[in-house]
Amino acid sequence: MVKIKESPGLRSSVICARRVIQPKDICVLAGTYLIRYGIRTLLPALALTLTMIVGNKALGGGKSALPFTPMLVAFLLVAIGFALKFFPIFFSKKRLTTAEARGFDQLELYRKERLPVLLDSLEERVFRHESALIHDPEARDIEERAIQERQNEITSHLDDLSPETLHWLGATQGSDLVDGLVRQHPLSNGVEASRSGFLITAHSGLAAPLSETATRAVTGYDFSLLLDYLDGAPFHTSDTKIDEQFQGHPVLREALKDVKSGKRSLPRYLRPSRFTRHSDILFHITNLFDAMEEKLWRAGICREVMVQSGRSFLEVDAAFPDALITASSFLRPGDADNDYHRQFPELPESLRSQGQQVLQRVLGKDQDDALAMIDRMKMHPLIRAFALRLSYDPEYVAEIIRPGFIDDIESILDGQEAPARFVRYRDEVKADMTELESFAAPAQRSREEIRTLRTAWHLNLNQFRERREQAIDEILGTQKAISQKLYYVRLHHALTLLDREEYRHIVQAIAFNGDVPTPPLKVTSPEPIKPTTIKS
């Protein structure tokens, strides 16, 4: 895996752990692993027991309890695991139940509210590059201008409506209604040429109550990973969408198989330096430790936020018994000042204070410390997504597409210069792509064929590096499968980056910025385009 940031010191880790990790959390984690290990050993233990019984009878031995020992050990592991996992839960069950009953899981609606910011970033990171395989830059500009002209035409008609009608529609001028109207239907059921076309189609498809496959048929885009991510609630103990995607999605698992089959692991100098890397066994053990540490932090932080929320509900209910308060009231940026809460004098101020206290009790009163706590539970999935993308996507590493690898690293490091080992890897992959172009005749191939060959060369699929020209036709025969896997790798990586940014945004807005809902990412808009006449 790739190490991006230096690990916090031991003293810092202990101080943070005292706020969120309790002995019962360690018991629950240990219980989970004991149950998993015990269940895995049941079948081998049964086979060993039967073998020992048959062997004992064949040798003429008498009755003995020894053959049943493996089964007893396996059952004992499972029993101890259940005791360790479920007994500690009862200690904080009341406040957790209060948080659940007050709609903590409905914080997923805030994630859906952030959809415009998410789509803008995903268009830049993923969907724009899919469009570039089909459409020329000229087609992108033409479609952008055509959409602008249609919007201008609609706006001119809406401006003719009376002020009373506009007010009845919830608008002050015609332009306020344009986005809602043009996003009623997809622009087409294929890959759009422009950013505006993508946003129209994406908003239309994602707003409709359709299944993932039906949405794909209507819009031409596979939004399944995005829809899965939108179904999670921030700071809820079940918000494990990113981890579930990596662990269980069949396309991502196939991409990981490609990485292993090509035997092109990432250079050793990119890996973490927490332990000396003498062997792959030690490397994988470290990955296991990192995964356990991340799960422990995530479980502790999310559970404590829910427990502290339960405590805040009791305090607010006592002060404002007639008000309806939910988790969104103080943990959703901007919601404390909604029209309902303003009906109760001093309630908005109380909710802002409660939201700040909940997050600061759990994450710390210093903003840098609080954001570091978010990294403790989000950095491991991010590193894992980085490792997969670096292994699978040479265009990203070599900065053939932007934002590239170094751009993202410098963003995570808050503008600091990327470490030399990352620059070294980028330069090596750039040189590697130049070697491929020396014999693959890129000028004679389509954009998607070039991308497929770059990916296969980077992965060494079908022994491409040894067979070179002889393997090209065979690789191009798998172009569709490679493109699908590359798309999923890019989208998963982009969602993982966004997940971390969205958590940081919530913490900054509620705990440190007085609940001012500012977007964590700049929403880029197309440059102003002068109206022109477009022939239909």
State pLDDT tens for residues 225-272: 999 999 989 999 889 999 999 989 999 999 999 998 887 778 877 765
Residues 199-237: pLDDT tens digits? 999 999 998 888 889 999 989 999 999 999 999 899 998
Residue with token string 């003995």: 64
Long-range contacts for 212-219 (Cβ within 8 Å, ≥24 apart)? Answer: 217/189, 218/186, 218/189, 219/186, 219/189
Q: What is the DSSP string of 51-112?
A: HHHHHHHHTT----SGGGHHHHHHHHHHHHHHHHHHTGGGGGHHHHHHHHHTTGGGGHHHHH
Distance CA 460, CA 465 (A): 6
DSSP 210: -
Query: Do residues 299 and 329 lie in contact, with contact meaning Cβ atoms separated by under 8 Å?
Result: no
Q: Report the sign of the C-alpha dihedral through residues 197, 200, 203, 207, in that order.
A: negative
The enclosing H or E element of 408 equals: helix 405-412
Residues contacting residue 177 through CB under 8 Å, at least 6 positions apart: 158, 166, 169, 171
Range from 25-29, 148-152, 181-185, 280-284 that averages highest in pLDDT: 148-152
Of 172-176, 372-376, 460-464, the range with the lowest mean pLDDT is 172-176
Distance CA 241, CA 228 (A): 7
> 320 φ, ψ to 5°?
-130, 75
CB atoms within 10 A of CB 161: 16
Of 351-355, 358-362, 455-459, 513-517, the range with the lowest mean pLDDT is 513-517
Query: Do residues 293 and 380 lie in contact, with contact meaning Cβ atoms separated by under 8 Å?
Result: yes
How would you label 238-267 residue by residue, b for 16+ Cβ within 10 Å and e otherwise?
A: ebbbbbebbeebebbeebbebbeebebebe
Nearest to 489, CA basis, from 130, 234, 202, 232: 130
CA distances from 305 to 55, 95, 280, 299, 419 (A): 56, 10, 37, 10, 35
Per-residue confidence at 171, pLDDT binned at 50, 70, 90?
confident
Q: What is the pLDDT of residue 529?
A: 34
Can you give the residue ranges of every domain in the chain? Answer: 106-223, 234-523
Mean pLDDT of the chain: 83
Per-residue confidence at 51, pLDDT binned at 50, 70, 90?
confident
Rounded average pLDDT over 329-349? 93
CB-count exposure of residue 477 (10 Å: 0-12, 13-18, 19+):
exposed
Q: What is the pLDDT of residue 524?
A: 41
The predicted model scores a pTM of 0.81
HSE-CB at 179 with a 13 A cutoff on CA atoms is 8
- Percentage of the chain lying above the pLDDT 90 cut: 48
Distance CA 264, CA 394 (A): 12
Query: Do residues 172 and 159 lie in contact, with contact meaning Cβ atoms separated by under 8 Å?
Result: no
Residues 470-483: pLDDT tens digits? 999 999 999 999 99
Q: Report the sign of the C-alpha dihedral through residues 381, 387, 392, 397, in that order.
A: positive
DSSP 517: -
Q: What is the DSSP string of 278-345?
A: S-HHHHHHHHHHHHHHHHHHHHHHHHHHHHHHHHHHHHHHHH-TTS---HHHHHSTTGGGSTTGGGST
